[in-house]
Structure 1
Amino acid sequence: MKWLRIIHLIHGVLFSVMLLTGLFLFMSGTRTWFNQIGFPLVQFHLVIACGYLLLTVASLARVKRYLLKKPRIKKFNFYFNTIFFFTWSISGILMYFQASLPAEIRNGAVVVHDWATFLFLPWVGAHIIGHLFKVHLPWPSWWKKQVPLPPSIQENQLERRDFLKLFGFTFVFLLIGGGVKWITPILSVANSETKRRGYFRIYNVTNEIPSYPNNDWVLKIDGLTNKEVEVSYYDLLRLPSTTIIDDFHCVTGWSVTNVEMKGVLLKDLLKAYEIEVNGEFVTAYSGDETYFDSFVSKQLIEEESYLVYEMDGQPLKSVQGYPCRLYQPNMYGYKSVKWLVRIHVKDSREIGYWQQSGGYDLDGYL
């Protein structure tokens, strides 16, 4: 039927684009590349997902009626896709409105969304290969044709070969999907005995990660202050330190709970160097020479922001912002500028990187 072919084609295009953009968002390298060229990948993924959602909901009943007299494999494909469709939709909605939800629900939604995607990949691959290359899997005739079920199936008495086929296909699909999921690079949690739950997803805006092999890092504090100061890595270590155990939240929905971070309170550094802040706003710059974010001065001083240099008792890893990153406990992770190299005090507020590129909230409060 013509209408079904059209729906199938649009569905295939939307699903393919949605799947690809989702994978690009998951992988740090591709996400960074899209950031560099200024393409709003997150927003594009959401628009495609909404289009896919509307098309699927609008066509569900009609497609189901069409399948009433079709082979069982087509009905299975319909229900299989429908289950994953609702899984993606519900978890995606929870991720979108994650600001109003507890961390456990946010993290659960992210995990479910990821696993649903990767476990569905083998089925997509088999579907594409079958259509493009005319490769037909050895399905039994009662499964791919409109014929009566064998007595053994009707009475739920699977033969040994039927059980082996079912188990074999299921195992292969889970192995492929799970394997693809876990060979993707992630930052593993520390091996120390902590109560941390979750893992960090590394988001950069450039592919070049700043490197300070000889600890030749320097933090510059300037602008509307009574004096300009440069603080080295060793100067920072000599200052009174503070340790905090806190939950790290990302605006995209995931969280890492009970993270132990050690660093220096910014107000303690200012006090130690007798620096007076005479401007209402502060811009924090990253050593990648691209990323920056801005704050009201009191958000960093009175609300006790940290210059973090250790996590879980170890120096920060390069991808975490080594040797020093900003951390404001009351704000989302995008406000925690990695590879912090400059704190510039001003009398006007700048619009930060993600506020310009992604429409994120300027204050970023949780």
Structure 2
Amino acid sequence: MDGKRSWLKQSFGKRLTAIHSWNAWILLALTVTGIVLSIGAIRGELGGFRVTLKQLHIYLGLASILLMLLYAPMLRKHWRQIRARRGQRANLVFVLALLAGWAASGIILWQFRHMPPGLNNAALLVHDLLTWVGVPYAVYHAISRSRWLKRQARLERAAAANRPRAAQPAPAAEPAAAAVQPAAAPTPAAPEEAAERTAAQALIAALKQSPITRGSFLRLVAGGLLVIAVGPAFYRWVKGAFDTGGSQTAEYLASDGNKMLPPPSPLPDSAAVVGGGAQGNFRIYTVTEIPVFSSDTWQFAISGLVERPATWTWEQFLALKRTVQVSDFHCVTGWSVYHCTWEGIPLKQLLAAAGVKPGAKFVKFYSGDKVYTDALSLDQAGMDDILVAIMLDGKPIPNQLGGPVRLIVPKMYAYKSVKWLQAIELIDKEHIGYWEVRGYDNDAWVGKSNM
């Protein structure tokens, strides 16, 4: 209560300055944590700390919302104070819209397990777009409003105020005075010399009155450098984010590092892409460097508590009976890819062929990166739509998307859909997977998982 009274006793200007300062520091912390969380290449190095970092990012976002609530009663008075400053009004409207958009989309992403995947996908797109726009703007605003630039502006205004005014032409002499002192009249200059002198004076006067001050020049340079630094990456993001036709997958295929021969021949439904083509784009996350594989050395195995352990070469694996299904792909970070046409071997078909022993209770999956593992209960593994996939939209799965073989568990978030799958083991005790050890839910049902 005392803290509330103390806050209200402060002058309006001090409260406004405090909120502005707190918001700047929180925005900086949100930017740093958000960038670190978005870098897929370091997810493995972060490990369990990534979960802590995500929680910190959420708490910082809530603190930013609290600042907005503190500012709300002050908005009307602040707006009146700057009514004559159109630039400041435009800045205020932009910043408030930015903060409101960040807050709304952030709350949706925070509560993603209670939201439909389509809303999560839209919220992530908005959150990313505002970050691409807002962070460079905040940096530019910090530079353009820095104390040093303000000091330069004050010095320039002082210099302008002290600069002597241009000499005014003397009043015309009275005829009588001119008659009294005829010898004082100056010798007239040649017309060419007078014209050159006038032009030179006009040029110097124009340079002295140049609108490009040192401060405005430095702001222009800062803005240009930000555009050069951020522009290309922003263009690539826009191209990927708003391309919902799956052309990104074609780019991954073109740069696929795997050498798997012969390539799989798609079934008719897969070749026709019965799902209509993946709608959306995959984001590349990995806890290791992306591995590459060759059909000369690649093998697939099923073992553990089974009656008939087996190992397949690439050609033998391609000979197994496959099926085609259309399903959506949901990531725990909020994005989704819809209507994917997957082709592969149903997991329950592989388990039936191997003959599950009575003591088996869980199915463990091994990634070819030799680091990542995960598991499903035997009941979960028996779901009809779990697929050991080798094709996406009628094409081989590129290594950047987890190929040549990956698990697909449509009803669970994608950290259960193990990439670069090379082995399956039937076990009698629960196995805690890579991300589950680091704080994710073991049962990763879409719409119900905690992380």
Tell whether the structures are fold-level matches, with TM greater than 0.5: yes
Secondary structure of the corresponding residue to residue 221 of structure 1: strand
The residue that corresponds to 2:65 in the other structure is 53
Distance 1:135-1:115 versus aligned 2 partners, 3 A rule = same
The residue that corresponds to 1:362 in the other structure is 443
Q: Would the aligned equivalents of 1:351 and 1:362 in 2 still touch at CA under 8 Å?
A: no
Which moves more between the two structures, 82-91 or 191-200?
Answer: 191-200
Match of 1:19 among 24, 31, 36: 31
Q: Would the aligned equivalents of 2:308 and 2:354 in 1 still touch at CA under 8 Å?
A: no
Match of 2:420 among 327, 335, 339: 339
The 2-side partners of 1:258 and 1:277 are apart by 37
Q: CA deviation at 1:35?
A: 3.5
Which moves more between the two structures, 223-232 or 185-194?
Answer: 185-194
Q: Would the aligned equivalents of 2:278 and 2:393 in 1 still touch at CA under 8 Å?
A: no
Match of 2:249 among 189, 200, 216: 189
1:127 and 2:141 aligned: yes
The residue that corresponds to 2:127 in the other structure is 113
The residue that corresponds to 1:150 in the other structure is none
1:230 and 2:230 aligned: no
TM-score (normalised: structure 2): 0.66
| Structure 2 portions without partners, runs of 5+ | 1-12, 154-219, 241-246, 252-271
Q: Would the aligned equivalents of 2:346 and 2:384 in 1 still touch at CA under 8 Å?
A: no
1:319 and 2:333 aligned: no
Which moves more between the two structures, 36-45 or 70-79?
Answer: 36-45
Q: CA deviation at 1:132?
A: 4.2
Secondary structure of the corresponding residue to residue 17 of structure 2: helix
The residue that corresponds to 1:147 in the other structure is none
Q: CA deviation at 1:12?
A: 0.9
The residue that corresponds to 1:292 in the other structure is 373
The residue that corresponds to 2:431 in the other structure is 350
The residue that corresponds to 1:240 in the other structure is 321
One-letter identity of the residue aligned with 1:266? L
The 2-side partners of 1:44 and 1:299 are apart by 33
Q: Would the aligned equivalents of 1:308 and 1:325 in 2 still touch at CA under 8 Å?
A: yes
Match of 1:81 among 79, 82, 95: 95
The residue that corresponds to 1:145 in the other structure is none
Secondary structure of the corresponding residue to residue 345 of structure 1: strand
The 2-side partners of 1:325 and 1:277 are apart by 27
Match of 1:200 among 266, 282, 287: 282
One-letter identity of the residue aligned with 2:72? L
1:254 and 2:266 aligned: no
Distance 1:346-1:271 versus aligned 2 partners, 3 A rule = closer
Q: Would the aligned equivalents of 1:222 and 1:343 in 2 still touch at CA under 8 Å?
A: yes
Distance 1:45-1:277 versus aligned 2 partners, 3 A rule = farther
Distance 1:107-1:37 versus aligned 2 partners, 3 A rule = closer
Which moves more between the two structures, 184-193 or 221-230?
Answer: 184-193
The 1-side partners of 2:55 and 2:310 are apart by 40
1:273-296 deviation digits (Å, cap 9, x = unpaired): 555464111221222233222211
TM-score (normalised: structure 1): 0.80
Which moves more between the two structures, 171-180 or 197-206?
Answer: 171-180
Q: CA deviation at 1:245?
A: 1.4
One-letter identity of the residue aligned with 1:348? K
Distance 1:65-1:175 versus aligned 2 partners, 3 A rule = farther
One-letter identity of the residue aligned with 2:404? P
The 1-side partners of 2:68 and 2:371 are apart by 40
Secondary structure of the corresponding residue to residue 190 of structure 1: helix
The residue that corresponds to 1:154 in the other structure is none
| Structure 1 portions without partners, runs of 5+ | 140-167
Secondary structure of the corresponding residue to residue 205 of structure 1: coil
The 2-side partners of 1:65 and 1:358 are apart by 46
1:252-282 deviation digits (Å, cap 9, x = unpaired): 2211111111111122223445554641112
Give me the identity figure in percent: 29
One-letter identity of the residue aligned with 1:19? T
Secondary structure of the corresponding residue to residue 248 of structure 2: coil
The 1-side partners of 2:396 and 2:373 are apart by 22
Q: Would the aligned equivalents of 1:316 and 1:324 in 2 still touch at CA under 8 Å?
A: yes
Q: CA deviation at 1:244?
A: 1.1
The 2-side partners of 1:122 and 1:38 are apart by 25
The 1-side partners of 2:69 and 2:371 are apart by 42
If you compute each CA radius of gyration, which structure gives the higher value, 1 or 2?
2
RMSD: 3.4
Which moves more between the two structures, 109-118 or 184-193?
Answer: 184-193
The residue that corresponds to 1:4 in the other structure is 16
One-letter identity of the residue aligned with 2:328? D
One-letter identity of the residue aligned with 1:204? T
The 1-side partners of 2:39 and 2:24 are apart by 22
One-letter identity of the residue aligned with 1:226? E
The 1-side partners of 2:42 and 2:146 are apart by 27
Match of 1:264 among 342, 345, 348: 345
